[in-house]
Structure 1
Amino acid sequence: MDQTLYFILLLIALCSVSECVQRQYHFIKEKKTWTEAQRYCRENYTDLATADNMNDMNEINNAIKLKQDKNTDQAWIGLQWTGREKWQWSSGEPALYLNWATGQPGASGEECAMMRNGQWHDERCSKFLTFICRSSNNTNTGLVFVNQTKNWRDAQSYCRQNHIDLVSVRNQNENQQLEKIMNDSHISDDVWIGLFRDSWQWSDQSNSSFRFWHPTEPSSAGVENCTGLKQDYYGTWNDLSCTSLKSFVCYEDKLILIKENLTWSEALRYCRQNHVDLVSVHSEEIQRRVMNVVKRASTAAVWLGLHNYCIMNMWLWVNGEMVCYHNWAPGNGTTENCNLEKRKGAVQSGGDQHWISRPESDKLNFICSRN
């Protein structure tokens, strides 16, 4: 077998999603109000704890157990009620395109969205419906219909565990594509899509849509506007008065935006001398963390640890891993002419925050991984 082909097949065989923990959590036993806890975390770490999924919740609960005493009943995390309801996608994207049926959205308490005959309706998140996931396995549409009935949160968890996420519908073309799939598959029932609304916002302003409320919570939003973990209920969440004195959990982000304008090689050298490396993005979860970090960038694009390996005519991460998950903008990520200036990978700091190919001599902000 040709040696080059053998090497490519070996990389593909090793290609897997890396479930890297992107935050390190720290439990602080001091009793503070939510605002005092937020100030402490921002001064000493990154912010009050944010969670994207159950992996994060397990890490938070483990951090608490390491230092827990018998008097620790609840602990602050970074979720706070704002009073401003907004619709957003499960992926964290804002809902800029909406296709509500006449009279929708309707009743209060119907906080999740489903699709019926090509139009959207709000519904109670506890209702059991079939649903559609975004997937990287279906190259034709990127969508998978799941013929199981689940409530919206369980449908979201299923999609994240088995595919990418609940489907996002960002424009009319995507809505028509989704409607066509339902018609072609003779799906006449209502189906969950990845749209939901609530008034809770994370302290670090991230777009994480993950929620882990106790079944009876939140119970007093507007009065009890901050969130604590109920340690006697598996770390589920409870809304509390922000002036209550509680222990709390901070997080330290393992991704750090460097607002210096350097070439790709200079950025790589900086990260390896001062932290660990230029960031590698192996999954949708890490991409969401990158999207939150690059919002603060001062350049239109930000370097990633992504480079074109001309000998193999492929893109690789700086740690040598193949690009399995990808988020390329249209027209980017294809084969490059290696006779021209060498190309490296960056992420847009605005817009859709896709990956783009740039000359390595461009001077951009960059993201390092640390710890």
Structure 2
Amino acid sequence: MMRTICIFVCLLLVLPLVCVQQSSLGPVNIIYYNKGMTWKDAQSFCREKHIDLVTIKDENENQAFFESTGWLGLYRENSNSPWKWSRGDENATFISWANNEPQDYEHCARKWSKTSKWINDRCEDHHTFLCSDEKLVLVMENKTWEEALEHCRSLGGVDSVDPASKVWMHSYDLATLITEDDRNYARERAQQATTDEVWTGLRYLGDKWFWVGGESMQDQDIPSCLAGRCGVLEKSNTTLFGTRDCSQRRNFFCYKRPSNY
């Protein structure tokens, strides 16, 4: 399944209009900034304005970036370290190096336009860059429900109005999936997961199921016999949601919280 990707060009660092799709959680918006920055500065900029530098999951997505140029979210700590994506520090499972790449002692990745191949470069060099806005993020790391919640709330956060304050206003959370369109979109995305089930923001508190955003579970599409107190989205079962022990480890969905939270 290929994510829907929309690419915007920002010459003056003005935020673009978003794409419209039936599901409020899609699509993936990619924003190109025609301004030279170091990889680290570009990462900080993307995390402040969007979610992070762009992540490319597979060859289909890579082809969508054929015309694009600039820093990607791909990096490594040193020449002996694995390549990771900036968003969530996930190990990269798809890489499209050009011939004779990667070079030693160059630890950040970028691409030229009109090619699907990537090169690595010195992270302190200045290049244009690509940011991503993704309302529903599939994190293909295995974490407990509580660890997944902490991970989601670390994404895309911004400091409070007082820069010296330690208050962290998280803009992402474990996913709330209320509408039928969002659930269908999430199940389609879940087919890429490396686990059979994916953690969601469902949690059993008191005698009811709630989403972590505070909304109650309005339908009956979840087993009444509790096998656990945390909710998963099933990839292929006839029931969409299931219950599991919160200490088990699975992939998980983060989502961008509505602006009125």
Q: TM-score range by the shorter chain?
A: 0.5 to 0.7
Using the TM superposition, give the Cα deviation of residue 59 of structure 1 relative to its aligned residue in structure 2, in angstroms: 2.4
**Residue identity matched to 1:236:** K
Aligned to 2:242: 345
1:83 aligns with 2:78: yes
Per-residue CA deviation, residues 192-224 of structure 1 (Å, 9 max, x unaligned), is xxxxxx62111111244111111210012xx21
Aligned to 1:206: 90
1:1-371 matches, within 5 Å, as 19-21=2-4, 23-62=28-67, 64=68, 74-83=69-78, 199-204=82-87, 205-220=89-104, 223-231=105-113, 234-255=115-136, 259=173, 267-269=176-178, 277-278=182-183, 280-282=186-188, 286-287=192-193, 308=221, 325-326=235-236, 333=237, 344-345=241-242, 351-353=248-250, 367=255
CA contact (8 A) 1:306 1:344 kept: no
**Residue identity matched to 1:38:** Q
Using the TM superposition, give the Cα deviation of residue 283 of structure 1 relative to its aligned residue in structure 2, in angstroms: 5.3
Aligned to 2:226: none
CA contact (8 A) 2:173 2:257 kept: no
State the distance in 2 between where 1:309 and 1:299 align.
Answer: 12
- CA change 1:26–1:367 in 2 (3 A) is closer
Per-residue CA deviation, residues 106-152 of structure 1 (Å, 9 max, x unaligned), is xxxxxxxxxxxxxxxxxxxxxxxxxxxxxxxxxxxxxxxxxxxxxxx
**Residue identity matched to 1:248:** F
State the distance in 2 between where 1:36 and 1:217 align.
Answer: 24
**Residue identity matched to 2:85:** W
**Residue identity matched to 1:353:** R
**Residue identity matched to 1:203:** S
Measured on the aligned residues, the alpha-carbon RMSD in Å equals 4.7
Greater share of helix residues, 1 or 2?
1
- CA change 1:206–1:289 in 2 (3 A) is farther
State the distance in 2 between where 1:28 and 1:309 align.
Answer: 44
Share of identical aligned residues, percent? Answer: 20
State the distance in 2 between where 1:368 and 1:27 align.
Answer: 20
Using the TM superposition, give the Cα deviation of residue 366 of structure 1 relative to its aligned residue in structure 2, in angstroms: 7.5
State the distance in 1 between where 2:188 and 2:242 align.
Answer: 14
Who wins on radius of gyration, i.e. which is larger?
A: 1
- CA change 1:54–1:289 in 2 (3 A) is farther
CA contact (8 A) 2:53 2:132 kept: yes
**Residue identity matched to 1:79:** L
Per-residue CA deviation, residues 88-107 of structure 1 (Å, 9 max, x unaligned), is xxxxxxxxxxxxxxxxxxxx
CA contact (8 A) 2:2 2:61 kept: no
SS in 2 for 1:239: strand
Aligned to 2:148: none
CA contact (8 A) 1:38 1:78 kept: yes
**Residue identity matched to 1:55:** N
Using the TM superposition, give the Cα deviation of residue 347 of structure 1 relative to its aligned residue in structure 2, in angstroms: 7.7
CA contact (8 A) 2:2 2:60 kept: no
What TM-score do you get using the length of structure 1 for normalisation?
0.39
CA contact (8 A) 1:302 1:367 kept: no
Aligned length: 182
Higher RCO by CA contacts (8 Å cutoff, separation 6 or greater): 1
State the distance in 1 between where 2:94 and 2:121 align.
Answer: 19
Per-residue CA deviation, residues 7-60 of structure 1 (Å, 9 max, x unaligned), is xxxxxxxxxxx5443632111111111011001110111100111101221223
**Residue identity matched to 1:31:** G
Using the TM superposition, give the Cα deviation of residue 277 of structure 1 relative to its aligned residue in structure 2, in angstroms: 2.7
**Residue identity matched to 2:41:** E
- CA change 1:345–1:243 in 2 (3 A) is same
- CA change 1:294–1:33 in 2 (3 A) is farther
State the distance in 1 between where 2:187 and 2:256 align.
Answer: 11
CA contact (8 A) 2:199 2:251 kept: no
